[in-house]
Homo-oligomer: A and B are copies of this chain.
Amino acid sequence: MYYPIFRQMRKTLAQIDTWFDKATDYAKSRSFDPNVLVGMRLAPDQFPLVRQVQIACDTVKLGASRLTGKEAPTHEDNEKTIDELRARIKSATRFLDGLTEKDFDNAATRAVTLPRWEGKIMTGHDYFLEHVVPNFFFHASHTYAILRHNGVPLGKSDYLGPLTQRKP
Contact = CB atoms under 8 A, between A and B. Distances in A.
A1 B138 CA distance: 20
A94 to B, nearest CB: 21
Contact of A164 (B8, B42, B122): B122
A24 interface: no
A87 interface: no
Interface in A28-83: 42-43, 46
A122 B8 contact: no
Contacts of A121: 165-168
Q: Dominant SS at the A interface? A: helix
A167 B120 contact: yes
Nearest to A120: B165
Contacts of A160: 130-131, 134-135
Contact of A166 (B7, B122, B140): B122
Interface string A126-159: 1001110111011011101100110100001001
Contact of A145 (B129, B142, B168): B142
A98 interface: no
Contacts of A11: 130
A148 B52 CA distance: 15
10 contacts: A1-B2, A4-B125, A8-B129, A42-B148, A122-B165, A123-B164, A130-B161, A133-B133, A134-B159, A138-B144
